[in-house]
């Protein structure tokens, strides 16, 4: 039984998020997704349009996802990996290298991003409608 974990804001859920979660699930048997809380997003310098509860509920209802937990801090990843016996940590390649320190605890895989779509692009389009 291989457990995979990934982290993200998943604001304005789109095909890029879905493809990442589908690919992450294919790497194992169980996929855990840590969704950034609104408070943590402020620390990330990001302001999501959709509140945490709704972003978490959407991700929870994605077929590939088995468990959703809140992401409250940068530091929680090691605890999460130990707590959930995670085998593989996955992130989109825009984060390549940033989480290599986790290789002491589990496999670290960066997956290609889906081109041509992002929450920022969607937000920009919405502003001009």
Query: Which residues make up the interface to ligand C2G (CB under 6 A)?
Result: 7-10, 16-17, 20, 36, 46, 71, 91-92, 94, 113-114, 117-119
56's CB contacts (< 8 A; 6+ apart) are 35, 68, 70
Phi, psi dihedrals of residue 19, rounded to the nearest 5°: -60, -40
The residue number with the shortest CB distance to ligand C2G is 92
Nearest residue (CB) to ligand C2G, 1 versus 53: 53
User: Residue 71, SS3?
Assistant: strand
Q: Is 46 one of the catalytic residues?
A: yes
Annotated catalytic residue within 44, 47, 83, 103: 44
- In terms of Cα–Cα distance, which of 7, 80, 71, 76 is closest to 42? 71
- Nearest approach, Cβ of 16 to ligand C2G (angstroms)? 3
Q: Is 43 one of the catalytic residues?
A: no
Nearest residue (CB) to ligand C2G, 1 versus 122: 122
DSSP state of 117: -
Active-site positions?
Answer: 44, 46
């Amino acid at each position: 039984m291989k457990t995979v974990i990934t982290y993200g804001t998943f604001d304005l859920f789109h095909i890029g998020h879905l493809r990442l979660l589908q690919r992450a699930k294919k790497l194992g048997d169980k996929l855990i997704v840590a969704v950034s809380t609104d408070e943590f997003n402020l620390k990330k310098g990001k302001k999501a349009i959709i509140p945490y509860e709704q972003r978490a509920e959407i991700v929870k209802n994605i077929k590939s996802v088995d468990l959703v937990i809140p992401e409250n801090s940068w530091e929680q990843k090691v605890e999460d990996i130990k707590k959930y016996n995670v085998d593989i940590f996955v992130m989109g390649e825009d984060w390549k290298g940033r989480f290599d320190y986790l290789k002491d605890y589990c496999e670290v895989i960066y997956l290609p991003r889906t081109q041509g779509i992002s929450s920022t692009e969607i937000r920009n389009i919405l502003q001009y409608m």
